[in-house]
Every structure is written in C-alpha cells, then in structure tokens.
Structure 1
Amino acid sequence: MSTRGINFLHKWIANDIPETAPPDAVSIGELTHKLLADAKAVGIKRIELDEDVDSLYRIFVEAIAHFDAGIPE
C-alpha cells in the first residue's frame, strides 16, 4: 500500500466508521463502497489501497471490533 493509501485509509476509518457500525457483511460492503468512492474522489486508486492489504473486509471487521469510544489511541 502506498503511504498516501495508508494515510487515507487510517484517517477514513477514524472519521467515517460509525461507532455503532455492526460487523456484518452488508454493513462492511457499504463501508467498502463508500471508502472506494471517497478515495476515488480525492484521486486515490483502489490499487493504492489493495497493494499490501489482504482484505478490506478484514480491516473493517477488526476496526469495528476494536472500536472503543472515548479511549484515545
């Protein structure tokens, strides 16, 4: 993944995954679609997000599972 892709993904997850997002296939599919549309809008191609990521699905599941509101990273 490019540095630009990594930075975008981390910021997007922090800002765009609702704290109440369920880790189900439909919700994660919608999040993936929104991520890719937002990335495209700022000129980031999917290849920049996919290069070193096994699965965007897995990244979203982990992000949702480890989300803990109010605890700083």
Structure 2
Amino acid sequence: MSKRGSEFLYHWISDHLPDAPMVDPVLMVIEMAVDAKRAAEAQGIPGQEIDEEIGQIYQFIMRDLR
C-alpha cells in the first residue's frame, strides 16, 4: 500500500472508530473496512491500492479496538 493510502486509512479509521460498546466486533470491522475503501476511492485513492492490503486493514482496525 502506498504511503498516501496508509496515511488515509490511519486517519479515517481513527476518526470513525465508535465510542459505544460493540455488539458484533467482526461485523463492525468488515463494515469499517468497506466504508474506508469507499472513502479512499472518493478521495482519489484507487481501490486496488487498498485491496492489496485489505487483510491488513482488518488487522489495523482490530488492533485499534484493543
């Protein structure tokens, strides 16, 4: 993933992590990863740039949830 892509994801995820308790953390992580990819594409960051590291996006979100 490019530096631009990873910086975007870091900031997007930090801004969108919920403060409320999670009912289903797995579903929330999947939804956040999809939403982050859409937001990146809207900012001109190609989807394939995000797809290359989609597993790491899930891991990144899960790490931030701890």
TM-score interval w.r.t. the shorter chain? 0.7 to 0.9
From the two aligned structures, give the one with the greater helix fraction.
Answer: 2
Q: Secondary structure at the match of 2:37?
A: helix
Moved over 3 A (4+): 50-54
Task: State the TM-score, normalized to the length of structure 2.
Answer: 0.75
The structure number with the bigger radius of gyration is 1
Give the total of aligned pairs.
65
What residue number does 1:12 align with?
Answer: 12
Q: Deviations over 1:1-28 (max 9, x none)?
A: 2111011011101211122363721111
Percent identity between the two aligned chains = 28
CA RMSD, Structure 1 to Structure 2 (Å)? 2.1
Q: Which amino acid aligns with 1:38?
A: A
What residue number does 1:3 align with?
Answer: 3
Gaps of 5+ in 1: 66-73
Alignment of 1:34-45 (within 5 A): 34-45=35-46
